[in-house]
Amino acid sequence: MYCDQFKLWTNKCGKNKIIFKGDYKMKINTIILILISMTFLRSETIRKFSDFRLEENDSLKADVKVFRGDATIYGHLDGNLDVYSGDIKIYDGGKVSGQTKAYAGKVYENQKVDESSSYYVVNEIKNLVLGDDDFFEKKDKENKLEIKIGGGNSSTHLQYNNQDGKSFYFHNTVIKREFFSYSSVEGVYLGLAGDFFEMDFKYVDFDSFLSLGYGIKSEEWQYYAEEQLSFFNNILSIGASQYSMASSEDQWKIDPDMNSASALFIHEDFYNYYLTEGFGFYTGAIYELKTKKTETTFGIKAGYYQDNVSEMHRVNDYSLFTNDKHFRQVSFYDGNLADEGEIKELLISGQIVSKLSNINTNINAGGTYEITLDDLDQDFEFQKLSMNFFIETKFSGLFSISNNIRLESSSYRDLLDSHTTPNFKYTTLGGNGTLPGYKFNEFSGNRAILNRTMIGFDKFDLLDFRAIFDFGEAYEFIPESSEENLIDGLGKFSTNTLKSSFGLGMVLGDNMMLSIHKRLDTNKDPYQLQLSVRYNY
């Protein structure tokens, strides 16, 4: 894949691919740690854990090592360039005076592959699975089957297709995963996922996505299939999906891979699960605006989804360490498993991602609105609104300031009415990823606010420091009439009951953060240590 971090998949990015992927993140992370330790002894070396880009007319004298991302060269690099789990793209006018090597990736010079510098396993598997690929050739573009190891963070850009299972059009609660995951409700999950068929024409593109896997302990097959038509370089898309997958409302709290590792190693599974089985139709648009100083991507979609929701029980209790404890039971509001039934809803969501290079600022904002269609026979009747705004500014490479605020609101859950909001649409806060220092999911309600402010000290390449302040609250708001407005009561939290904590963290690489937090309202067992992904959207 050779799109930049903030670019969409367009004809310029060399589409017309056939992709079949597996995500061997645990293995590649071990390899990366070994490679890092080997490179500490060399001076004048720049190490990146995300995409590296050298702009036109820029010069840099150093060796560059990119461990999780792509390297894009428009300028002059006086030194060696090594990329692990990514591609190297050298464009017209770009130059690397030293050696270029891409491990688990390819080296492109003016969009032509330099096989001698590319270390990947592609052709043998391609011939085995597909045989002769002449049928797929269109418009003299390259066809490729790619085995991708690892991957980047999905939280910094929008994608129109399901590359890595991270599409903007992906079902909003289905858990995104590919090769391996581990949880209390499935044990080991093994699967494959990828864009398995694409056809690209001048004005219309078609691509299909399939995810298929099996939960060893739950003894269930799970799948997600999607077909999508895109017009005029993805300015307009229509698609349909069908699925039977484990789902969770908690994915914004902690990264799925982090949650899987936590369950496997330390007996902590932070998700509440339910099974979503159904289908959906959607339409949407993604548009990119780029100037010399800004790169901005807008996305909006609307879809109809018809889901049958069922419970998922804890069926697994094995962990490599801390075997004296057990996985907690899956439980939602009022301590029960997921409310079961059929949901027929309209979902509207939008997102904007912007990089303002002139002031070193990144912005990510978005929102989702769900509403059931009451004129259709179903088991629930509810609305839900989620909004998120993140901004980060870096100052001269010395320190940074970021703020992330999230607001959630859902219909009031009338326990005397069987035709009401399902319990998993309520918001729960507390513990890892939300309010560190407090008990896990200690607070719940139909209104919630959560804010995280961080001040970072970014002097070092591989180890940065953060001061972290969190505050938030989940609370019950009872509307005055049956015509509930989701905005009412959204900001009516009490400063007397607002929960808060302060923490100090170390950022490992670009996104992993080890931190310790202290809740500010008590001195009784107030501390919590957590490992997390630095940015949660």
Domain boundaries, the chain: 24-119, 255-314+324-533
What is the pLDDT, as a whole number, of residue 316? 95
Is 119 strand, coil or helix? strand
Contacts 24+ apart (CB under 8 A), 515-518: 515/436, 515/466, 515/468, 517/436, 517/437, 517/468, 517/470, 518/437
Cα angle 258, 439, 383 (rounded to 5 degrees) comes to 75
The span from the CA of 100 to the CA of 82, in Å, is 6
Owner of token pair 């004048």: 44
Work out the number of other CB atoms within 10 angstroms of the CB of residue 425: 23
Q: How does DSSP assign 268-300, residue by residue?
A: ------EEEEEEEEEEEEEEEEE-SSEEEEEEE
Q: CB of 214 within 8 A of CB of 228? A: no
> b/e string for 48-82 if b means 16 or more Cβ within 10 A?
bbbbbbbeeeeeeeebbbbbbbbbbbbbbbebbbb
Res 165: pLDDT: 53
Taking only the tens place, the pLDDT of each residue in 258-314 is: 899 999 999 999 999 999 999 999 999 998 888 878 889 999 999 999 999 999 999
Cβ burial of 396 (10 Å; 0-12, 13-18, 19+) is exposed
* Residues in the chain, pLDDT under 70: 1-43, 120-157, 161-166, 397, 459-462, 509-510, 533-537
Residue 123 has phi, psi (to 5 degrees) of -60, -45
> Which amino acid makes up residue 93?
G
Q: Which pLDDT does position 157 carry in this prediction? A: 58
Mention the CATH class of domain 255-314+324-533: mainly beta
Whether residue 102 contacts residue 87, with contact meaning beta carbons closer than 8 Å, is answered with yes
CA–CA separation, 221 vs 191, rounded Å?
9
- Asked whether the beta carbons of 535 and 391 are under 8 A apart, the reply is no
Q: Can you give the pLDDT at residue 418? A: 75
pLDDT of residue 120: 60
Give counts: helices (H), strands (E), the chain. Answer: 3, 31
pLDDT at 280: 97
